[in-house]
């Protein structure tokens, strides 16, 4: 853009408030002035003149520095995520109910009483079997006043499963 003499001449006219297409005077920041400005914009956001004063060597040096800083930050994040993934993997491999993994001063262990349809609480390891399906009707629907402003419907259905070993009952709401 800097080497294009026609563009430079048009820009000078435009900047002085002259329509470079018709050589007529136009109001600076008027409608036509703003429309003609697009010829001198880069990606519709930056006026090319704003870039001419930039020292390209310093710009590229600063850009490389910023990219390196971003890469360093991303490497730290990736390493932390790998560490977290390994901790999650160790937690998933825990066998006993009372076993745990310490990570950053906190203890993590088996928190789900049932995992993959196996009752894990207190090392039971019994298989959970389906017993029945139930529905809970909310007060609004039961009294015939659903959605009248006093109540909002909170009806739901759930399955009841029972452990074959110890009789533990689990309700799964959906």
Could you say which DSSP state residue 53 is in? T
H or E, element range at 119? strand 118-119
**What is the pLDDT, as a whole number, of residue 49?**
79
**What is the pLDDT, as a whole number, of residue 69?**
98
Instruction: Give first-to-last CA distance, the chain, whole Å.
Output: 63
Full-model pTM: 0.48
115 three-class SS? strand
Count the Cβ atoms, other than its own, within 10 Å of residue 128: 21
Q: How far is CA 115 from the centre of its chain?
A: 28
Beta pairing, strands 126-136 & 118-119: antiparallel
Q: Report domain extents, the chain.
A: 5-52, 56-110, 112-173
Could you report the average pLDDT of every consecutive run of 10 residues in the chain (174 residues)? 85 94 94 92 80 83 97 98 95 86 91 85 90 84 63 82 93 86
**Quick one: tokens of 8?**
């430079």
**What is the pLDDT, as a whole number, of residue 122?**
86
């Amino acid at each position: 853009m800097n080497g294009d003499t026609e563009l430079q001449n048009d820009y000078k006219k435009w900047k002085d408030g002259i329509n470079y297409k018709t050589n007529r005077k136009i109001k600076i920041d008027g409608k036509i002035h703003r429309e003609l400005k697009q010829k001198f914009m880069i990606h519709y956001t930056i006026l090319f003149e704003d870039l001419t004063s930039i020292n390209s060597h310093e710009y590229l040096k600063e850009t490389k520095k910023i990219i390196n800083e971003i890469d360093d930050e991303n490497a730290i994040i990736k390493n932390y995520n790998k560490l977290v993934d390994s901790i999650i993997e160790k937690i998933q491999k825990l066998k006993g109910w009372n076993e745990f993994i310490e990570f950053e001063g906190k203890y993590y262990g088996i928190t789900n009483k049932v995992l993959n349809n196996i009752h894990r609480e207190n090392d039971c390891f019994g298989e959970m079997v389906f017993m029945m399906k139930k529905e809970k009707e909310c007060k609004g629907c039961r009294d015939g006043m659903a959605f009248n402003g006093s109540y909002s419907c909170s009806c739901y259905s759930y399955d009841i499963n029972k452990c074959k070993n110890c009789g533990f009952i689990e309700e799964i709401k959906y």
